[in-house]
Structure 1
Amino acid sequence: MTALADREWRLIRDDPREGALQMAIEEVAARTALEDGIRTVRVYDWDPSTLSLGYRQDADTVDWDYCDREGIDVTRRQTGGGGIYHDHRADISYSIVAPADEVPGDLMDCYALFCEPIIEAFERMGVDADFAAAEQDAIYHPSCYLRDIHPAHDVVAPAEEGANARKISGNAQYRQRDVVIQHGSISYDLEPAHHVGVFDTTVDESTFTNRVTSIREQAGIDREEAVETLADALSDWCDATESKWREDELAAARDLADRKFGADAWIRDREVLEASER
């Protein structure tokens, strides 16, 4: 933590944005970290609500008619794993972006470091949460929250031994251009109908609620307080300065969202369009 605080970090309490732009912004932040030496922590949400597919996820697992009918966008992440329904109210998301040579090279050690402020935020909220103590088998593989629970990067609550621990946060990492990007989804509240409805499956809503819990259920605080607590914990972790995106970063992110994260070629087939193909 001391070494991190010696670097230049910024905290961005981001505006609500569409999913494609939120994913594009992370790649632009990676470029900024590498070229300008500015590292980023941020909190954000998705508006409209969005299903983010895992990098290698089969697009045929999506109920496209349901998403269209319910006004749910679809994008594809750079990270692996199953799809996540990000509700514009019930989900709180964060990301951490830093040069790879400044953080542990071992994936598990890097997860442990980058999840420190997430665990700290839960403690400040009054949520008894920690990394899963043991693996739990997958229930429905296409859904991140119903996949196997892994002690390395899945956070559950309550954390005490012997409790009925349910998933409250999923976290994932990828490395691009010598930069590490970690992002995560934290459940403020539950929207089980949409979490299972976005997939082409007959999984029952109760299956989701039996597996997943939320900040609201565990601590009863309002969403604004939860968001502020998470942002403060991220800022304290790396001694970040409050900031906003530069205009050139937003312009680059909009271009990338058009060519990649918002393009059907990427969402369906992981193909990135050239500027001339838009």
Structure 2
Amino acid sequence: MARKKKKLFAAADGTALDVIISSPESAISGVILVYPCIGGTSRMYMVPHGELTARGYTVVEFHPRAHGRSEGQMAMASSLKDLYYLLFSTGLSEYPITAVAHSAGCNALLQVNLSALHLEKVFFVQPVFNFAESMEYMYEIGTDREFLDAISRWTSDREQLEKYLYSKRWLEPAVWYRDRLRQKINAISVNLKLGDFLEDFYIPGFETIDHIHRMRDRLVFYLSTVDRWYPVSTTRQAADTFNIPVVFMENAKDHFHQGCWNDIWNDILDRIR
């Protein structure tokens, strides 16, 4: 029987983070780390706590700042810093870690210091290797409104936000800084400094394809055949380049693999026996 804890974990600076931990009744054999997409929650991934803890794993569903019920400002640097602090302060960094990440969570894990954390196996679901590339792709195929829908919860003026982000030109650093878009978007933000978030993630982009080689021997990709948020062709090319196994989820209709998470977890369970 798993001992499941839903709690707010205090980061080093006191920020309350939403962390779900399930521990086995017996000795711990390893850690399953679950890292969600931007602004998302691992609760939609149907994590099989009982099956994993029965095998001796401690399951950690980590929500970076502004994800799930976590407080604080979303930023890549703080996300990684908080992850290290969580794992080291709880002693879980001493165990081999199997990581399961979705979308932007894959980008974050590709930046992890592998000398600090022992990532034994890594499973990426619909990875995004560059945030700016993701946005450019969405503008090109006409799905940018889906992104606006996702971030509109952090603005008091959706119409004005659409005017600021009406084309992909905001992704150009010269345009972003010249037009002071960070300050303007922050002025219409609620609960999160949306301008800071966009500048942190999308202006640098965080290109991480070149990081794949560091963990190529422990990676598996799970892909849908169609993705409205990031080009599947880019991920397939990366898989070919680095010889990464790919599992195509034929029933997955979008970036979020709705209805397919049970199948993903069953495959992961087979691979970690």
Q: TM-score, normalised by structure 2?
A: 0.28
Larger Rg computed on CA atoms? 2
Between the two structures, name the one with larger relative contact order (CA 8 Å, sep ≥ 6). Answer: 1
Q: TM-score, normalised by structure 1?
A: 0.28
